[in-house]
Structure 1
Amino acid sequence: MVRHFSSIIGDLFDTLLAFDSRIWKTVPALLFRPGFLTAEYFSGRRVRYVSPVRLFIFLCITSFFVTQLNSDWTISWGNGVVDVEDAGRGYDDALKDISRLKEEQVDNSNSYTVTLLEEVERDLIDGKVALSGDLDELNEQLGGAEGETEASENLSKQQLASGLNETINEIDEEFFQVKWLPNSVEDWINRKVESAHENVERVTEDPNRFKKAFLGALPSTLMVMLPIFSMILWLLYIFKRRLYMEHLIVALHSHAFICLSILIANLFYSASKQLDQYTFISSLFDNLILLLVLWMPIYLFWMQKRVYGQGWFITLCKYSFLGLIYLILLSIGASFTVLWSLAEL
């Protein structure tokens, strides 16, 4: 049977995300109703919503892909040089206007006005010469000479490269210096660490290359963190006698919400930049991003309270402990991701 291309695309989305009426029920509930999807899943009402695994995987990959497109990690080394030609263009434009006005007044035989215009013209020329001299002196004081600027930029790059190399060494010493590792594993780790050191220079020259590798590796890091997060929940609520898989569903929905928030924040940020000339609309999107950032911790706390049904104080204590432990683990995971991204450039 020959099918339309649109139907094939529909099948693809349906396979990945069940992209039909369920998505319109799932996403608003995920964003605005903490714990609702998890409670519905535990109650057996699952068919009407996108499955937690599909939802998380799709939002995770999509959010970090959009972040890649929406961010620029180019480094401005900030040499502090003032362009004399740019500074003098205003004087040139003014001199052109004065010259045009002077010709008109000559045609009108207005000698007094011509004399005044000539005085203004001389003042502008003197001002431009004085400005040029002052800016040259300023650039010398700021190290604006070409050789000094290049030396300053090289020094900044060396400092960045030194910091990255120190970070790689710290990760290697803290986590990989294990005596009982098999020789093959140790050799593989040493190759990766050496490759990361070699790629540091490429990162200082083109940080966006590292951005692409780092953000591309983050979804895998989050997927690795999911079972660890679920295990922490299981330990915190061990007396609730819930199955580990129930905690995993909570983890999937909470991480899916975080990824959805990142995706929406990127869209708001992009809209704010595109509509920068409209101050009110741009500030509106900026405020929406701020509200979204504030909503995230409130949402996750409310979700934990609703799913596990304990008191506010107990939930707050467990929520704070969970957040602290998870931030530490996430920092370690991010460090591994940095090392892996550098090694795989």
Structure 2
Amino acid sequence: MSHKSPLREDKTCLNCNHVVASRFCPNCGQENTDTRKTFYHLFVHFFEDLTHYENAFWKTIKNLLLKPASLSKEYLSGKRLSYLAPVRLYIFISFVTFFLIAVIPNNEDSFGKGFQDGLKKTESKESKKSKVEIDTIYIEQQKIIDLEKKGIISKKDSDSIQKFIKDSKEKELLDDKSEFTILGKKYKSVEELDSIQKYSPESEKLGDFEYWFTRKAQLVQDKYTGKEIKEKFIESFVHNLPKALFIYMPLFAFVLWLFQNKKRWYYFDHGIFTLHYFSFLLLSLLILKIESFILGHLSEYLFFRVIDYIFKSVAVIYMFYYFFPAHHRFYSEKRIVSIIKGIVMFFINLFSVIFILMFLAIYTFINIH
């Protein structure tokens, strides 16, 4: 039994001035104890609060992972003090997940190392190719100079041919170097794009939106290399992903609302189910990230690579499977009806998520700074 502070002699609540007959105020719930505490009491009180929070936290996490929909049903039935509140749970898991994803470095497993080695070899080949192209330009120019010295061609022709060769080769190198095309078109710079848009015939000009998007993308290409664009794109995408999920949750709850009895289920009920389901998905991603980080350091051993592969496969399958028993248990429908609804909702949500992610990807790309 925990140590309790002595009650105040004054029976007037310090918080709301209501008369307190026993330990707790019947009006606001505040404990009517002495406000001046000893260090021992503060230590014991802190330990009790921490233990209570940990018990509720681990109980919540256990049910969230292993008992689909149990948290939602318990919450709506009125049992709320034994678990973390849905909004607090989602915010906490979301913060920890995206924080650790940003902080924990990506391990280079055996596949990753092989990919990196292949990338280095490709870059080395490209470097050698560029050197060969430059040497070819030099050799061909020397041939033209020799012809000029022998009097076979004039100085003017020699200069023109050399310039043509150099420009042609540089254009080839530029084309090979370009990693992105904007709406199927390539531009050397934003100045070239602006010039084409300004002086081209009306029939060949880009539309207002197409020109705006192309110019935004060209500004990014002019400022960064392909590798830098990819790095900044991934960084910005991960940064905006929590916002996209937060925006999508009301839509997910709305889809659930469309498929259920409107008199029996309120939108609030679907919102609670959605918060718990998305908390599960984020927590699963967090576990996968931690597992990948730990086993990534042991990837040189075949045994741990196999364990890593099995764990990831089982986790991904479970993440897809989880929704169906959760939906069935929460809405208490016949299993076949719940499965059919679940499949239809899965495809609706899949297309919705793809659309949002595409929009997010475009927004991320044109706003790279």
Residue 60 to residue 148, structure 1, CA distance change in 2 (3 Å): farther
Change (3 A) 1:81 1:241: closer
Indicate the structure with greater helix content.
1
Asked whether 1:264 is paired with 2:248, we answer no
Aligned pair partner of 2:178 in 158, 165, 177: 158
Identity, in percent, stands at 23
CA contact (8 A) 1:230 1:244 kept: yes
Structure 1 residue 192, shift from structure 2 partner: 8.0
Alpha-carbon spacing, 1:191–1:291, altered in 2? closer, same or farther (3 Å): same
CA offsets 1:36-87 (integer angstroms, 9 cap, x no match): 111111111111111111211222233233333444899969485598xxxx
What letter corresponds to residue 225 of structure 1 in structure 2?
Y
- What amino acid maps onto 2:351 in structure 1? I
Larger Rg: 2
Confirm or deny that 1:320 pairs with 2:343.
yes
2:305 counterpart of 1:285: no
Q: Per-residue deviation at 1:240? A: 5.7
For 1:71 and 1:165, the matched residues in 2 are separated by 34
Supply the distance in 1 between the matched residues of 2:226 and 2:353 (Cα, whole angstroms): 25
Read off the aligned partner of 1:316 and give its amino acid letter: I
- Pairing of 1:1-345 with structure 2 (within 5 A): 20-68=54-102, 69-71=104-106, 78=119, 80=121, 144-147=128-131, 155=175, 158-162=178-182, 194-200=215-221, 202=224, 204-206=226-228, 207-239=230-262, 241-345=264-368
Amino acid at match of 1:25: K
Q: Which residue of 2 aligns with 1:177?
A: none
What TM-score, normalized to structure 1? 0.63
The whole-number CA distance in structure 1 between the counterparts of 2:215 and 2:53 is 44
Amino acid at match of 1:307: F
Mean alpha-carbon deviation: is it higher for 281-290 or for 70-79?
A: 70-79
Letter in 2 for 1:231: F
1:205 is displaced (CA, Å) by 3.0
Q: Distance in 1 between matches of 2:183 and 2:107?
A: 21
Matched residue, 1:114: none
Contact 2:57 2:83 in 1 (8 A): yes
Distance 1:163 1:191, change over 3 A: closer
CA distance in 1, matches of 2:59, 2:227: 46
Q: Report the count of equivalent residues.
A: 257
Alpha-carbon contact 2:72-2:276 (below 8 Å) kept: yes
Supply the AA of the counterpart residue of 2:287: I
Following the alignment from structure 1 to structure 2, what is the Cα–Cα distance between the partners of residues 298 and 323? 11
> Whole-Å Cα distance in 1 between the matches of residues 320 and 296 of structure 2?
26
Deviations 1:110-161 (A, max 9, x none): xxxxxxxxxxxxxxxxxxxxxxxxxxxxx7xx99433369999965663434
Query: SS of the residue aligned with 1:162?
Result: coil
Question: Which ranges in structure 1 are unaligned for 5 or more consecutive residues?
Answer: 84-138, 167-186
Once residues 21 and 165 of structure 1 are traced to their aligned partners in structure 2, the CA distance between those partners, rounded to angstroms, is 59
Q: TM-score, normalised by structure 2?
A: 0.59
Q: For structure 2, which runs of at least 5 residues remain unmatched after alignment?
A: 1-35, 135-169, 187-207
Q: Partner letter of residue 145 of structure 1?
A: K
Aligned partners of 2:92 and 2:332: how far apart in 1?
29
Give the Cα–Cα distance (whole angstroms) in 2 for the partners of residues 277 and 343 of structure 1.
40
- AA aligned to 1:28 is K
Residue identity in the other structure for 1:52: P
3-state DSSP of counterpart to 2:78: coil
> Do the aligned residues in 1 keep the contact of 2:182 with 2:214 (CA within 8 Å)?
no
> Structure with the greater relative contact order (CA < 8 A, sep ≥ 6): 1 or 2?
1
Could you tell me how far apart the structure 1 residues matched to 2:93 and 2:185 are?
33
Structure 2 CA distance for aligned equivalents of residues 62 and 304 of structure 1: 26
**Post-superposition offset of 1:196:** 4.8
